[in-house]
Amino acid sequence: MTNRTGKFSYGRMLNSVLISTFIAAGTAAAQAQTASVAEPAAAFSSARSAYVEAWESSGLAFAKALLTETKSNGFGQYSPRADADFAAGDPLYVYAEPVGYAFAQTGTGQSYQLTASYKLLNGSGQVLAEQQNFAEFSGSGRSLQLQLSAGLSFEFSGLPGGEYQLETMFTDTVGQQSASFTLPFTVTGTN
């Protein structure tokens, strides 16, 4: 009986040592993860908080919306088009930076979702083509995703030479709001 009790005590002591070791290792790992992080200056943290507050009160809008030479490769990665004159059949590339969209809380952070629709109008305002929700921009993360670029491509065949307007509308499905921008362009020649 004494032998059995000794084994039990030894096993219990070994479990206590292992649990204490894991707790100490977990505490040391947590300290190691935060000990080497440089905290931003108070002015930076204050400015970021003010930016998020301004974002939330802004409502959906656009920091940029313009015609580009080629497709965008990401946020801030575009070449502005020097003019809005296109040959018949040329593709139109648009770069936009929506701001002020809302976020939904998820189990692991926040998410956003925007859809894009367009209308093509001639010089007198007649709608020549339109499509609802032809593109979607969505994402999620543990931090607010405050840098979104929207690269859009359009190809309109059969347009005669003349003045046109491309009206693009974004809808924030989380915040239930919409905003649009209109880009005038000219087609030269016929398709």
pLDDT at 35: 72
Q: Is the pLDDT of residue 146 over 50?
A: yes
pLDDT in tens, 92-140: 999 999 999 999 999 999 999 999 999 999 999 999 999 999 999 999 9
Instruction: Check residue 38 and report its DSSP letter.
Output: P
pLDDT at 97: 98
Phi, psi of 93 (to 5 degrees): -110, 135
Per-residue CA distances from 58 to 38, 101, 146, 153, 182 (Å): 31, 9, 13, 27, 20
Of 24 and 45, the structure prediction assigns the larger pLDDT to 45
Report the candidate in 45, 95, 48, 36 with the shortest Cα–Cα distance to residue 68: 95
Quick check: pTM over 0.85?
A: no
Does the domain spanning 59-188 belong to CATH 2.40.160.20? no
- State the chain's mean pLDDT as an integer: 87
Q: Is the pLDDT of residue 1 over 50?
A: no
Phi, psi of 145 (to 5 degrees): -90, 95
DSSP string for 135-179: EEEEEEESS------EEEEE---SPPSEEEEEEEEEEETTTTEEE
Report the candidate in 123, 108, 90 with the shortest Cα–Cα distance to residue 191: 90
Q: Is the pLDDT of residue 5 over 50?
A: no
pLDDT in tens, 70-92: 999 999 999 999 999 999 889 99
Q: Are 172 and 102 in contact (CB under 8 A)?
A: yes
Where in the chain are the domains? Answer: 59-188
Q: Is the pLDDT of residue 2 over 90?
A: no
Task: Kindly state the tokens that stand for 149.
Answer: 């670029």
